[in-house]
Amino acid sequence: MLKIYNTLSRQKEEFKPINEGKVTMYSCGPTVYSYAHIGNLRTYIFMDTFRRVLKYDGYKLKGVMNITDVGHLLSDGDEGEDKMAKAAREQKKSPWEIAEFYTNYFFEDFKKLNIGKPEVIAKATDHIQEMIKDVQTLIDKGYAYEIDDGIYFDISKFPDYGKLSRLSLDEQQAGARVEVNSQKRHPADFAVWKKAEPEHIMQWESPWGMGYPGWHIECSSMSRKYLGSRFDIHTGGVDAIPVHHENEIAQNEALEGGKTVNYWVHSEFMLVNNGKMSKSLGNVYRISQLEEMGYAPLDYRYFCLNAHYRKKLNFTFEGMDGAKTSYARLLSTLYQHKAGTNATDKDVLAEYKKQFDEAVNDDLNVPLALGVLWTMVKEPKSKDIYELALQFDKVLGLSLDKAQPQAQSEEPISDDIRKLADERYAAKKAKDFATADALRAKLADLGYTVLDTKEGYTLRKDK
RNA sequence: GGCACCAUAGCCAAGUGGUAAGGCAGAGCUCUGCAAAAGCUUCAUCCCCAGUUCAAAUCUGGGUGGUGCCUCCA
């Protein structure tokens, strides 16, 4: 029985899907105006873990993730420049090119990190008509009104506004930091459709003239299009709770008349050196940058898996080094199990599986599940352990089936190097240690470390 | 100013009433020509104070410290 923490109730709840055996899930995706950084990716590793656990539990999954390629402005006052347009101007490309480039890059990162693509990837620009229709419905139902610069949602018509974040609008210093648009009925009313200035690049025809969608309507329109008026789960980062998801709830429930999402699940932020990750501090990293520093993408996945998704994770290179070593040893140990000759008692195996299953089903407690795996791996080497670890890997996504001896080099080794190494080995066999050591030193100069094993030796290219 | 969340060993991190998982680093030992790997062993009483309880890291109250949100942000 899966239990999951619901932001709406602030409690762990038993998960019960609307339709037995099937799960419908919507995940907030990226705005593709820039590269995803490791903090962004933590959220998608969380999404992926959640999806994996659901599948592991036997659910048939339909997941939808949006690609936001239009609409988000730079400020919350429904003012400022469109992010896509800004990136386009700066890089001298069209917004469409910007979107395509960063979308592709984003999914490259997914591949590297073993993050599975949701079943439906929905681009905002492909769903403008659905959004216009929904905006019209909001107007017809009296939830939205038109002013000079666009169509706005009237939050006074939605008494539940704020129920997810539990922020009281009265207690907020309304307009303190967001410039009040005098035509808006309430400072927190938000745009569902914006009328475009002539120079605005991305704009579409609508009943209200040329324009473009507001920041939140896309998720409402696309989630309902693919998942229906009611669906099970909505995921995202905690930052989306106060504004984006609050507004999405308002739109959805105004459109559908009643609760539309049963479980709101959010992942916490990542910190860097105990502080916020920000470009100004120069501590924003991308996966490709970690790779340049000698970390494999899955080292980073392991790093994330070692912490619970609802806890802030402090990124440090000391921590990354630990994750890298730990993960390498895990693979190495599993490789030995793969060739293990012991038999493991069925009850013992069943007990590990039980512990693992309970951990991941208890609000996705993956750190605890990893602990179970580590304890299991300490058992006498047995192929049974290896097979069970592969089962666990359906949840972990750590490519445990790729387990190999730690020292093995992935790069081809040239004949010259190989020859030197063979000579060293021969000298060693002949107990001519002086020559062997000299050759080892020579190889070291060439950037290779020789590691002796029981049967022979392996070469490792130095980083 | 308002609202949340968090505080466990050098580091990362589980544990939410019954006597501190796991990983990294460190230390010792075994093995191996050396080196590496591997194996074994070892390493905390849970921010502070008060309270509830037979029993608290776990509950309550009060401190202190940290982070986030209320602006775009995963």
Pairing of strands A270-272, A313-315: parallel
Reduced DSSP (H G I as helix, E B as strand, rest coil) percent helix, strand, coil of chain A, to 5? 45, 20, 35
* A43 CA to B74 C1' distance (Å): 5
Q: Flag whether pLDDT at A8 surpasses 80.
A: yes
Q: What is the pLDDT, as a whole number, of residue A106?
A: 95
Q: What is the pLDDT of residues A48-86, one digit of tens each?
A: 999 999 999 999 999 999 999 986 655 545 556 677 788
Identify the weakest region by mean pLDDT among A93-102, A116-125, A129-138. A93-102
Q: Which two tokens stand for residue A214?
A: 């507001």
**Could you give the C-alpha distances from A25 to A62, A183, A260, in angstroms and in order?**
6, 37, 12
- Taking residues A282-310, report their average pLDDT: 91
pLDDT of residue A115: 96
Distance in angstroms (rounded) separating the CA atoms of residues A14 and A11: 10
Nearest DNA or RNA nucleotide to A188 (CA to C1'): B70
Straight-line distance from CA A378 to C1' B41, in Å? Answer: 15
Rounded to whole angstroms, the Cα distance separating A301 from A115 reads 9
Averaged pLDDT for residues A228-251 = 91
- Helices A217-227 and A128-140: angle between axes, nearest 10 degrees: 100
DSSP A410: S
pLDDT of residue A409: 45
Q: Which of A2, A66, A20, A68 is CA-nearest to residue A263? A: A2
**DSSP code per residue over A224-250:** HHHH-SSEEEEEEEGGGIIIIIHHHHH
Distance A313 CA to B49 C1' (A): 30
The confidence score (pLDDT) of residue A176 equals 44
Contact A66, A44 (CB under 8 A): no
Give A458: exposed, middle or buried? Use CB within 10 Å, 0-12, 13-18, 19+.
middle
In window 114-153 of A, residues with CB < 7 A from nucleic chain B are: none
Q: Given this model, what pLDDT does residue A182 score? A: 66
Reported in sequence order, the residue ranges of A268-332 that DSSP labels E, i.e. its strands, are: 270-272, 313-315
Residue nearest to nucleotide B73 (CA to C1'): A239
pLDDT band at A393 (very low <50, low <70, confident <90, very high): very high
**pLDDT for the residue A107:** 96
Structure confidence at residue A248 as a pLDDT band (50, 70, 90) = very high
pLDDT value of residue A462: 65
Asked if A66 CB < 7 A from strand B, the reply is: no
* pLDDT tens-digit series, residues A174-208: 444 445 566 888 888 889 999 988 888 889 999 99
For residues A270 and A283, the answer to whether their CB atoms sit within 8 Å is no
The stretch A381-386 carries a mean pLDDT of 90
In this predicted model, which residue has the larger pLDDT, A450 or A333? A333
Give the tens place of pLDDT for each residue, A306-328.
Answer: 999 999 888 888 889 999 999 99
List the A114 CA – B66 C1' distance (angstroms). 33
C1' of B29 to CA of A157 (Å): 74
| DSSP conformation class of A118 | P
pLDDT greater than 80 at residue A269? yes
User: Cα separation of A110 and A114, whole Å?
Assistant: 6
Q: Which residue is nearest to nucleotide B3 (CA to C1')?
A: A167
Q: How far apart are CA A89 and CA A92, in angstroms?
A: 5
Cβ–Cβ < 8 Å for A430, A398: no
Residues near A133 by beta carbon (within 8 Å), at least 6 away in sequence: A221
Residue A433 CA and nucleotide B32 C1' are separated, in Å, by 14
Q: Which nucleotide is nearest to A380 (CA to C1')?
A: B39
| A299-318 residues near strand B (Cβ < 7 Å) | 303, 306-308, 311-314, 316, 318
Q: Distance in angstroms, CA of A365 to C1' of B53?
A: 30
In this structure, is the CB of residue A367 within 7 Å of any atom belonging to strand B? yes
Q: Provide, in whole angstroms, the distance separating residue A456's CA from nucleotide B31's C1'.
A: 17
Give the mean model confidence (pLDDT) for residues A414-443: 85
Residue A101 and residue A243 in contact, taking contact as beta carbons nearer than 8 Å: no
Q: What is the pTM of this model?
A: 0.91
Q: Is the pLDDT confidence value at A413 over 80? A: no
Q: What is the nearest nucleotide to A39, using C1' and CA?
A: B74
Residues 169-208 of A with CB under 7 A from strand B: 171-173, 176-178
Task: Return the pLDDT at A110.
Answer: 96
Percent pLDDT > 70 in chain A is: 91
Which has more pLDDT, A267 or A168? A267
A277 touches strand B (CB under 7 A): yes
Cα separation, A116 vs A110, in Å, equals 7
Binned at pLDDT 50, 70 and 90, residue A367 comes out as very high
